[in-house]
């Protein structure tokens, strides 16, 4: 399973809003959706920002 799939599953499992995660991470909603759909590369700095927004360590998704 790819990292973006793990993040997406975590968001769904915890019934979180992807809009709020995108906003808190500082990533545009469009880019966030593209990352979560595997259409855009998830760079390390974006992973850190998303994990900060989720309040988890990046290692959780490795």
Task: Give domain status of residue 62, yes or no.
Answer: no
Contact partners, residue 51, CB within 8 Å, separation at least 6: 57, 58, 60, 61
Task: Give domain status of residue 40, yes or no.
Answer: yes
> CB of 51 within 8 A of CB of 57?
yes
Task: Give domain status of residue 28, yes or no.
Answer: yes
Count of domains in the chain? 1
Task: Give domain status of residue 10, yes or no.
Answer: yes
The Cβ-side half-sphere exposure at 18, using a 13 Å CA radius, reads: 17
In this prediction, residue 18 carries a pLDDT of 93
* Residue found by looking up tokens 């992973």 in the block: 47
Task: Give domain status of residue 31, yes or no.
Answer: yes
This prediction's pTM: 0.91
pLDDT in tens, 2-61: 999 999 999 999 999 999 999 999 999 999 999 999 999 999 999 999 999 999 999 999
Task: Give domain status of residue 61, yes or no.
Answer: no
Read off the CATH number of the domain in which 47 is found: 1.10.260
Please provide the distance, in angstroms rounded to a whole number, between the alpha carbons at the two ends of the chain.
10
Domain that holds residue 15: 3-56
Task: Give domain status of residue 35, yes or no.
Answer: yes
In this prediction, residue 47 carries a pLDDT of 97
> CB of 4 within 8 A of CB of 40?
no
């Amino acid at each position: 399973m790819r990292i973006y799939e793990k993040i997406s599953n975590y968001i769904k499992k915890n019934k979180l809003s992807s809009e709020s995660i995108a906003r808190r991470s500082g990533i545009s909603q469009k880019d966030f959706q593209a990352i979560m759909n595997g259409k855009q590369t998830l760079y390390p700095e974006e992973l850190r920002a998303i994990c900060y927004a989720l309040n988890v360590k990046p290692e959780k998704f490795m």
